[in-house]
A and B are shown apart, each in its own frame.
Chain A
Amino acid sequence: MMIQQIPTLLDWLATLPPDVVNAATSYAIAMVLLVLLLLISKWQGLGVGNKLIVGTIRGTIQIILMALILVEIFALENLAIIFFVLFFMAAFAAYTVRGNLDHIPGVFVTSLPGIIAGGVGVMALATVLGIVEQTGEFIIPMGGMVIGNSMGMTSLVLDRMWSNAQKQRALVETALALGASPIQATEVTIRESIRSGMLPNLNRYASLGIVSIPGLMSGMIIGGANPVAAAFYQVIIFIMIFLSTVICGLIVSRLFLKHMFNEKLQLTVPPPAH
């Protein structure tokens, strides 16, 4: 039965465009790098092995499905549908953050408004101001970058706030004992985590064009756009990313305080398990 199906599979593979076959071959070879990464992770006890395996499988399926419908999405000119897609991306980003921080309560309900306000909000503002062309071809990929960075910021802020409340419990309680509000008791952590979340992009921003030729510009040039136009768009996307991550970080941090403190302004974060 299996043997009979092999010619059918080979026939189907023969129908694929050569560039897809080449990419799939590279993908298969790249698994060697993944194995290397898993070995390092296990050796160093990083505890991210399972997440990397699941992420690779899930990410591959997701991005292939996305690629198959991208042609249709890029052609969209109906802003309502385009922004529906962005909302879906934001919801999925919040779901992803929750999955990675499953030991922390209230992650999804905190992340979602932050990512929507930061990511989708900044895209809406850019669209209204005419900074971004009102087609799916521009809004969706730029939205993806903005939402993706907001997601990273959300993860970092929540993780830092939670772990600092555990590890620096004495500092938080000292502040509370002096009559501080939750936001005053955590202001240093919030400020530092937002700054840390921006740092990688600030480094890329500072070395723009010399050390780093970021994704959007590369993609546009490969796609045949004028390199100067692509360069302008790259600076624009950086500014949008900074704005969205700061808005997202501020909103998420404030919403998350409700999950760290109760109405009596008592710290409800449990001490670390060990």
Chain B
Amino acid sequence: MCRMVLAHMCVMTMNGALRDPFQYVKMGVGVGNFGETNMDVQPILDMKHITMRFGKRTLFEDVSISLHRGETVGVSGPSGGGKSTLLRIAVNLVTPTEGVVTFKGKDVNEWDPRELRRQMILVPQQATMFPGTVRDNLLWGLRIHKMKSTEQDLLDVLLQVNLEPKMLDRVAGNLSGGEKQRIAIARALLLRPDVLLLDEPTSALDEDSTLIVEATVNRVIAEREIGVLIVTHNREQAERFTSSVVEIGNSEARK
């Protein structure tokens, strides 16, 4: 209970004192910018007029999002509306039918895909663990990017996502959905990204853990000045956690 209150206080502080008041911008299928945070500064992630079609089916059309350092923008909309696809487009795992995505002012197609995805990390909704222990999973990203870390770094990141240090040597595949989700976030944080793309990061968590993860993300935003684009179904979460919300696919996935 105490933990809940603390986490909630942290969220309140971030959204109240340090950041702009919440703005909810209903986009429908259309364009939008939202929030007035850092509007005068070049966005770190800029998605302009993004349209996604599969054959004759339009998933979403003309969606624009600007994300600045230290800002949290929410993406909302009905199931199957293309929210997850939008995040995958941001890291160039999928190419949009129309539109341009720039990261740090450079078209994502001009980035080395590996470096792009190191600096802007997508944490999928279904947290997938690699074979091995939690430690193996945390070290996985560091190993492929030849980055160093200490045992203390691993323990710190576990604490950040409210997991016990003794969890390091547990088999990752045996963890609960909520634990896997937090390990996936921790795995991403260890790579020290500039942007985090979170796809329903708290969908498998209880309320207590949800608030703690939100507090963690807020703390990381404050400490590292990263930008966060978060897909959420939860209107309340969007209101307390993000500075603005883009709603996509609202006027149905059109044929």
Q: Interface residues, chain A, CB within 8 Å of chain B?
A: 170-171, 173-181, 184, 188, 264-267
- Check A264/B145 contact, CB under 8 A, given A173-B124, A177-B124: no
Option from B109, B131, B141 in Cβ contact (under 8 Å) with A178: B141
- Check A174/B124 contact, CB under 8 A, given A179-B191, A265-B113: yes
Q: A170 near B128 (CB under 8 angstroms)?
A: yes
- Check A266/B121 contact, CB under 8 A, given A179-B144, A180-B144: no
Name the CB-closest residue of A to B127.
A174
Query: Interface stretch among B11-19, B20-28, B86-94?
Result: B86-94
A171-B128, A177-B91, A264-B109 given. 4 additional CB < 8 A pairs? Answer: A170-B128, A173-B124, A174-B128, A265-B92
Is B115 positioned at the interface, with any CB of A under 8 Å from its CB?
yes
In the bound complex, residues from chain A placing their C-beta under 8 Å from that of B95 are 264, 266
In the bound complex, residues from chain B placing their C-beta under 8 Å from that of A173 are 88, 93, 124
Q: B117 near A266 (CB under 8 angstroms)?
A: no
A-B contact pairs, 12 of them (CB 8 A): A170-B128, A171-B128, A175-B144, A176-B117, A177-B124, A178-B121, A178-B141, A178-B188, A179-B144, A266-B93, A266-B95, A267-B93
In the bound complex, residues from chain B placing their C-beta under 8 Å from that of A176 are 93, 113, 117
Name the CB-closest residue of A to B122.
A177
Q: A179 near B141 (CB under 8 angstroms)?
A: yes
Q: B114 near A265 (CB under 8 angstroms)?
A: yes
User: Once bound together, how far apart are the Cα atoms of A174 and B125, in whole Å?
Assistant: 10
Shortest Cβ gap from B140 to chain A (Å): 7
Is B182 positioned at the interface, with any CB of A under 8 Å from its CB?
no
User: Quick one: which of A170, A176, A181 has the most chain B CB within 10 A?
Assistant: A176
Is B69 positioned at the interface, with any CB of A under 8 Å from its CB?
no
